[in-house]
Amino acid sequence: MYANNQINIIGEINDELYEKCLNAARDLKNPATKKVSFIINSPGGELSAAFAILDMIDEFKAKGFDVITLVSGRAHSAASLISSSGTKRFITKNSTLLIHKVRGSYDYMDTKELKTHLDNLLRDEKVFERIY
């Protein structure tokens, strides 16, 4: 999962991956360097987990860390948010980024639930716009 202050974001972004990132952040090999790298190869995933990882990155920045994001493969959807959050951002020659509008599922919702869901999507879209 990590080596030399490296945190890997590989695969779908979800609560399980966030937990692995959180554990890696707690166990940095050399925190005195004030540098941490996030290596990203992800198709995206759950926005809530991506936001939690973004909060983690913001905590590193607040503590004076240089946060490096490196896309090696792909950073699609929610992963593209994470890739754009580093103080230094890199993408390898053959890697791809995919950015799209926020979207959600509307199956089996009544009108009140639909409105709440829409309000949440609009809030998330504002976060996207602030980050990009």
Residues marked active site are found at 77, 100
Q: Any idea which residue has 């991506």 for tokens?
A: 50
What is the distance between the alpha carbons of residues 67 and 51, in angstroms, rounded to a whole number? 16
Distance CA 116, CA 107 (A): 14
Query: Helix or strand or coil: residue 1?
Result: coil
d(CA 9, CA 128): 19
Q: Which of 77, 78, 36 is closest to 57 using CA atoms? A: 36
